Amino acid sequence: MGETIPTWIPTCNSSVSVQISNRQTSSDGGALLLREVLDRSGVIEWLDQQLIDPRDPSRVVHSLSSQLRTLLIQRAQGWEDLSDTATLSDDPVFKLACSDQRSTTPLQQFRPSQPTLSRLLNTLSTKNNMQVFHDGLMDLALWRLSSMRGG
């Protein structure tokens, strides 16, 4: 009866603490855990370095990495339609999980819109970027096979 549930602090943003309570802040608390997985795997950083982003750097509002996180975390949480982005635009957990920023700064920022994410998908589907995904999957498969054989 006097059981306490520990607070979890995600490494992606140590100003945030996660605890179970009766308060309804977000229905997608798992988004922060997914952010942890993405950070520890290094997949977003790898993609950010490898993918070709044709946008003018002086006009970029949302980084490639924050847009990739938005797409991946939304899909993993079951929000499959890009129009769901508008529904989640004010969700504090999604803002914290998808942002490049730390502390509570992301709470004041706008998230990428549906049209922005649609343009990202068009960018990701170019021949050069599709080759990046292909090469990445091949590297992952080779790493997996090697690790299964004790290598």
148's tokens: 């299964």
What's the confidence (pLDDT) of residue 5?
A: 57
When comparing pLDDT for 95 and 21, which is higher? Answer: 95
- Domain range summary for the chain, segments of one domain joined by +: 30-50+61-148
- Residue among 49, 42, 97, 45 nearest 70 (CA): 97
What whole-number distance in Å separates Cα of residue 122 and Cα of residue 120? 5
**Predicted confidence (pLDDT) at residue 77 exceeds the cutoff of 50:** yes
% of the chain exceeding 90 in pLDDT = 51
- Residue among 17, 120, 25, 129 nearest 70 (CA): 120
70 - beta bridge partners? Answer: none
When comparing pLDDT for 55 and 3, which is higher? Answer: 55
**Predicted confidence (pLDDT) at residue 25 exceeds the cutoff of 50:** yes
**Predicted confidence (pLDDT) at residue 30 exceeds the cutoff of 90:** no
- Residue among 7, 8, 12, 9 nearest 106 (CA): 12
What's the confidence (pLDDT) of residue 29?
A: 77
What's the confidence (pLDDT) of residue 137?
A: 92
- The count of other CB atoms within 10 Å of the CB of residue 135 is 11
- Residue among 58, 118, 52, 108 nearest 83 (CA): 118
What's the confidence (pLDDT) of residue 38?
A: 92
Handedness of CA 99, 43, 33, 11 (dihedral sign): negative
Q: Which residue has the tokens 């509002």?
A: 61
**Cβ neighbours of residue 139 under 8 Å, at least 6 residues apart?**
none
